[in-house]
Amino acid sequence: MARLVRMDGSGHTTLAEWTARDDDAFQIAVEEFRGQLEMGYIGTVPDGPGQATHVRELPREADLVVMRRPLAGG
Amino acid sequence: MSAEPQSAALPELASVPWRARTDERWLRRWGRIWHAWTVAYTVPFLAAGAVLLALEPLAAPVALAAFAHAWIIPELYAYRGASVVRPKGARNEANEPVAQGFLGDLLGHGGRELQRKTGLALEPGALGVWLVGEAGAVLVTPGARRVHSFCVRTTDPELPPSDRVAHLLLALREDEEGFATVANHVFAGARWRVRRRLPKRMRPALDAAREAAR
């Protein structure tokens, strides 16, 4: 089961879950993903140790997609 | 927005278009500049103190003040370099365990233990070995002699501390040079100078980064 997760004040919130074969669940996740982008979140796929990828569309095959807030120099 | 579904560049780079990309060459150059700057503000105080003592031993208190300046100013810079990884902001203790678990999933077993003990996530990269804190990161360059300190934070200050670390860690993994470019570079200097100014709890993380960077 793939998950779309948002890092927020609660630690993290699971926004959607889908499987590669479940088109309806994936479409719901896509809408949720786009909504988060509009709110200013950034989509990231952790690819394993030391690697992550910035995504602008929800990848169907990903196991985990994380929505994070933008960074700024402190 | 690009039509590409994914990108190798950190999206936050769009907010700092005037900055040169922070790569290995940039770090080497700024490391030298910081070194030269440290010499430039230390040596005159040492020389002034020595000349005063040589000319008039009764001027020893003034000479001591000059020596103190030569010691204090580099210490203040080193303190600034260490401060980037000190805990900052809301602790959000109620939700920290959830965030800690999520961060732990992103780290390997060794990295998870080190982060729980020291508060810093160790992340090897192409530029060196990073120690990522809640609102900044320290880069130990290859060879482990020099460190660079960066101030960088998530734009949501209410996140639990481990979520703030996870934000920085994910961005670093997306685009290491982009991460260093978006961050504000605040210090470069010898590793030992920063180590002395780190909270004791965090020093094992710098020692581990030193070993990994050698």
For position B2, what pLDDT does the model report? 45
Asked if residue A13 is part of any domain, the answer here is: yes
Asked if residue A47 is part of any domain, the answer here is: yes
Asked if residue B12 is part of any domain, the answer here is: no
Asked if residue B141 is part of any domain, the answer here is: yes
Asked if residue A60 is part of any domain, the answer here is: yes
For position B1, what pLDDT does the model report? 42
Q: Please, which residues 148-167 of chain B have a Cβ atom closer than 8 Å to chain A? A: 151-156, 158-160, 163, 166-167
Find the chain A residues whose C-beta atoms sit closer than 8 A to any C-beta of B: 5, 7-12, 42, 44-47, 49-57, 59, 66, 68-74
Asked if residue A50 is part of any domain, the answer here is: yes
Q: How far apart, in Å, are the Cα atoms of B22 and each of A34, B14, B29, B166?
A: 31, 14, 10, 21
Asked if residue B8 is part of any domain, the answer here is: no
| Residues spanned by the domain of B167 | 22-214
The span from the CA of B122 to the CA of B137, in Å, is 10
Total of domains in chain A = 1
All residues of chain B having their beta carbon less than 8 Å from the beta carbon of residue A3 are: none
Asked if residue A49 is part of any domain, the answer here is: yes
Asked if residue A73 is part of any domain, the answer here is: no
Residue with tokens 């896509």: A30
Q: How far apart, in Å, are the Cα atoms of B169 and each of A20, B75, B121?
A: 28, 28, 8
> How many Å separate Cα A61 from the centre of its chain?
12
Residue B167, number of CB atoms within 10 A of its CB: 27
pLDDT 10s digit of each residue in chain B, 214 long? 445 677 778 999 999 999 999 999 999 999 999 999 999 999 999 999 999 999 999 999 999 999 999 999 999 999 999 999 999 888 889 999 999 999 999 998 889 999 999 999 999 999 999 999 999 999 999 999 999 999 999 998 889 999 999 999 999 999 999 999 999 999 999 999 999 999 999 999 999 999 999 9
| Residues spanned by the domain of A24 | 2-68
Q: Please, which residues 4-43 of chain B have a Cβ atom closer than 8 Å to chain A? A: 4-12, 15-16
Residue A15, number of CB atoms within 10 A of its CB: 19
**Is the CB of residue A27 less than 8 Å from the CB of residue B122?**
no
Q: Which residue of B has its CA nearest to A44?
A: B170
Asked if residue A43 is part of any domain, the answer here is: yes
Paired with B150 in beta bridges are B137, B185
Residue with tokens 């560049």: B9
Nearest CB among B8, B98, B153 relative to A71 is that of B153
For position A74, what pLDDT does the model report? 73
Amino acid at B175: D
Asked if residue B183 is part of any domain, the answer here is: yes
Total of domains in chain B = 1
B124 in A contact zone (CB under 8 Å): yes
Q: Which residue of A has its CA nearest to B161?
A: A11
Global pTM value: 0.94
For position B4, what pLDDT does the model report? 65
DSSP state of A39: T
Mutate to test the interface with A, among B98, B151, B156 (most CBs of A within 10 A): B156
Asked if residue A74 is part of any domain, the answer here is: no
Coil, helix or strand at residue B68 = helix
Is the CB of A72 less than 8 angstroms away from the CB of B11?
no
The span from the CA of A31 to the CA of A4, in Å, is 11
The dihedral sign for the CA sequence B181, B183, B185, B187: negative
The span from the CA of B39 to the CA of A71, in Å, is 34
Q: How far apart, in Å, are the Cα atoms of B109 and each of A19, A26, A41, A50, B123?
A: 28, 32, 28, 13, 13
The span from the CA of B76 to the CA of B189, in Å, is 12
All residues of chain B having their beta carbon less than 8 Å from the beta carbon of residue A71 are: 10, 12, 152-155, 167-168, 171, 179, 182-183
Closest CA to A5 of A40, A38, A42: A42
- Which residues of chain A carry a pLDDT beneath 50? none
B179 in A contact zone (CB under 8 Å): yes
DSSP state of B4: -
Q: Residues near B146 by Cβ (< 8 Å), separated by ≥ 6? A: B31, B140, B188, B189, B190, B191
Q: Where are the beta strands (DSSP E) in chain B?
A: 6-7, 121-124, 129-132, 136-140, 146-154, 184-190
Is the CB of A68 less than 8 angstroms away from the CB of B136?
no
Count of residues for chain B?
214
